Every structure is written in structure tokens, then in C-alpha cells.
Amino acid sequence: MLWLERDASQGQDAISVLCKDERGMIEKISLKDLTAMLVTELLSSAMGEEVQKEQLTAVMAVPELFNDMQKEFLQDVLKRCGIAQGVEFVTEPVAIGKAYGYERKAHRRLALTVNFGAMALRVSLLKLEDHELQVLDSLQDFKTSGREMDKVRLTAYETASKVLFAEYQACHGVDLRDDKELMFRVLVACDDAKRVLCSEEQTTIEVDQVDKARRLKVHMTRQKMEELCEDIYDRVLALSSQLLGDNSVRQESIADVLVAGGCCEIKAVQDKLRSMFRSQLNLPAAMPMDHVVLEGVCAHMQQLEERRSRAEKGREEREEAAVSLSIGIEVQGGIMHKLIQRGTSLPCHRSEDFSSGY
């Protein structure tokens, strides 16, 4: 059993997790320690027990509105995990731009990033200049998300199954909607249906083992889903328009629309963005929408490695640099006596004895 405790006098460690084991003993763990335990387990699972943590550099994609205190929290967590190289932060809009290779574009331009995932809708203005990406402004809406759409579908699902719910309650005196485990399975089934309807015109939402001889089964079409979630889809355009208006940017000034997040796989969302921005919409060709930010983080990591490699190579070149012009002194007859020949490796030292002609 887990529950949270807050102590306002503890600053960043204000929130602790209280864990109750099978013996009834209660252990208090700070949120940082709990997060560090999860990260350590993730590293061990992904890279094995013998991973050299002190040689790792972490790269994290964070929302544009992520503050310094939140970044400091993550840095402390990684230190507790034994990652000595520190952490590099990249904002999600920049990661999206890197995933699309946007920094390789030749000309100065503006892009709109739309990150529509399970937790929130985030839109950002991304500026490209001299192969550098800069976030000009961002807006976010936590009420517009994949979970919100699942709740809408769940309500419709309950309505469609109203007869079955009522019949079961009349026979057994139990309201199925009070069964949290059942409602969770219904929510998972709705989420699976959402994914199917991104590519198919219709599907069946089905939940087994409601009773020994009963199951919940509802037929759902893409058109029906779009009707249920129409208001949520419209919020994508409303938030985008608000961002452009706040920054006095016309729609025609947006060269590209870069999308990310699982909800952007929904055809209705893509169609609405196309209707607003015409042909500027960009879709990832070889990766799922919900992997776009991850791909951008990987691209950022690769660029960091290339920069470090160039820096190390530059140091080697400076160490092996050669003299570009011969160096000497003027001797009798007005000619130069060369002391250091062109092409001599640096550093170098030469000396000779000379006498005056006077």
C-alpha cells in the first residue's frame, strides 16, 4: 500500500511516500529516492547489472514550461542513481523538430509543433535560424488529452450498455459501475479501440468475465468516435489559433506543422490541422507518433556525441598543427636564413649562433 505525505518545511523533499508492507510496517521514502529506485531498475532492465553508470550522460526531454526546481529535482535523482556525468535537458518542441530533421533546413522559417498525447495538449512556436531551433512560445491544455477522450468514449460505452448494467443490478443488486477493476478493463478496451479506429473504419469493444455467462460488447465506428470527441478535436485548433494570436503570427507564416503524440494518429485530428494549415502538415514516415519525442532525444544525443568528437579532434589537430610559414632572420646580403621550416610540427624550438658584421 502506498500513500503520499506532504511536509511543507522540507522544501523539495516535502512529498514523501509511505509504504506499508505485508507485516504492517510503515516505511517512509522520499519522492526522490523512490524515483531513483525506479530509474535504477529501468537501467538494470535495459542495460544489465554491469552498466557503468559513472560513464553515462542522461538526456531528458521536458516540457517547455518545465521550471528550474523541477530540473534540479531530476538532477538530484540521477546523482542518487550514480550517474556522474549529469543530465542534458532538451525541450519537447526542440526534440520534435530534431526528430523531423528540421534543424537541417536551409532557410529561416517558423514551425508549429502539436504534441497531443495521453496527458495534455501542447502547442509551440518553433523558429529555425542558422540551423538552430528556438522555442518562441508555448501553450498547454491538460483538459485536452487522450485520457479525456477515453472518458468520453467510456461514457458512451456505459450508455450503450445501460440495459445490461440495469439488468445485472436488478438480478444481483450490484451496480457494475461501482466495480473499479471492471471499469479499468472497460477503459483499456476503449483505448485499444481508439488505436484500431486510427486505421480501421469500425471495431468492437468487448470486455469478458463480467459474470460467468455475460460479457459487455458494443460496436463502434470511426464516425461515431469522431462525433463523440468532436469538441476535443476542435480544442486543438482553438489552442493553435490562440498561440498564433498571442504572438501576432499569421497562419501563412507557418511553414510546417510538426505533430507528435498518439492522439495525432487520429485521422480527424490530422484533417482538422490540414484544413487550418493547408499543406504544411508533416507526418512522421517511419515512426509511430508517440515515439517522435523519443526519436528527437536520440537525435540530440547523437549530435552531442558528434560535437564532443569534433572537439576532441580539434584538440588533436591543434596538438599536431604545423608551422604555415617558414620563420627566420635576415642575414648579410638581405636574404632570410630559415630557422624553422614551413611544415614543422608544433610545438618546436630552434637555435643558432650568429655574429654581427660590424
For residues 83 and 76, give the distance between their C-alpha atoms in angstroms, rounded to a whole number: 10
Instruction: Summarize pLDDT for 246-274 with one digit per residue, the tens.
Output: 888 888 888 888 888 878 888 888 888 88
Between 26 and 139, name the one with better pLDDT. 139
pLDDT given at position 21: 60
pTM greater than 0.85: no
Tell me how many domains the chain contains: 1
Instruction: Summarize pLDDT for 103-118 with one digit per residue, the tens.
Output: 877 677 888 988 888 7
State the residue range of the domain holding 176.
86-320
In this structure, is residue 165 part of a structural domain? Answer: yes
In this structure, is residue 29 part of a structural domain? Answer: no
pLDDT grade for 36, boundaries at 50, 70 and 90: confident
In this structure, is residue 198 part of a structural domain? Answer: yes
Residue 24, pLDDT above cutoff 80: no
**Residues above pLDDT 70, as percent of the chain:** 70
Among all chains, which residue has been given the C-alpha cell 522540507? 10
In this structure, is residue 10 part of a structural domain? Answer: no
pLDDT given at position 289: 74
In this structure, is residue 25 part of a structural domain? Answer: no
In this structure, is residue 189 part of a structural domain? Answer: yes
CA distances from 295 to 36, 42, 89, 303, 338 (A): 24, 19, 15, 12, 57
pLDDT given at position 318: 44
Q: Are 76 and 32 in contact (CB under 8 A)?
A: yes
**CATH code at 200?**
3.30.420.40
pLDDT given at position 53: 65
pLDDT given at position 319: 40
pLDDT grade for 97, boundaries at 50, 70 and 90: confident
Given phi > 0 = left and psi -120 to 50 = alpha, else beta, which region is 131? left
In this structure, is residue 232 part of a structural domain? Answer: yes
Looking at the DSSP assignment, which residues form a beta bridge with residue 139?
123
In this structure, is residue 158 part of a structural domain? Answer: yes
Among all chains, which residue has been given the C-alpha cell 564532443? 308
